[in-house]
Amino acid sequence: MNLWTNLISKEHIDRDCKQYIKRLKLEADRLFTFIKYYVEYHNNVSEHELRKFATYHQIEDTISHISWLYNHTLKCAYK
């Protein structure tokens, strides 16, 4: 007997427990797909990749802003 069948088979009194058990019965195959396909339960790898991407864009935006500010200052100085 595994953990899920053990949880589902017990009679629960608490209303929240009953709702969770009902959801487990209906959607256990979708809720725990990460177990079936050996996917890590956390999303750290994706978040690290997004952080690199966001940092790159932040630096790129800063450089382009400084460049625009420099060009704008030069244009204003020679008018």
Looking at 4-8, 26-30, 73-77, which range is the least confident one? Answer: 4-8
User: In the predicted model, is pLDDT for residue 21 greater than 80?
Assistant: yes
Q: Quick one: 46 and 12 in the same domain? A: no
Instruction: Give the model confidence (pLDDT) of 56-74 as tens digits.
Output: 778 877 877 777 777 777 7
Q: Quick one: 35 and 59 in the same domain? A: no
Looking at 15-24, 40-49, 60-69, which range is the least confident one? Answer: 40-49
User: In the predicted model, is pLDDT for residue 1 greater than 50?
Assistant: no
Interatomic CA distance for residues 25 and 31, integer angstroms: 10
Structurally, how many domains does the chain consist of?
2
23 CB-near residues (< 8 Å, 6+ apart): 31
Q: Quick one: 18 and 47 in the same domain? A: no
Of 43 and 55, which is predicted with more confidence? 55
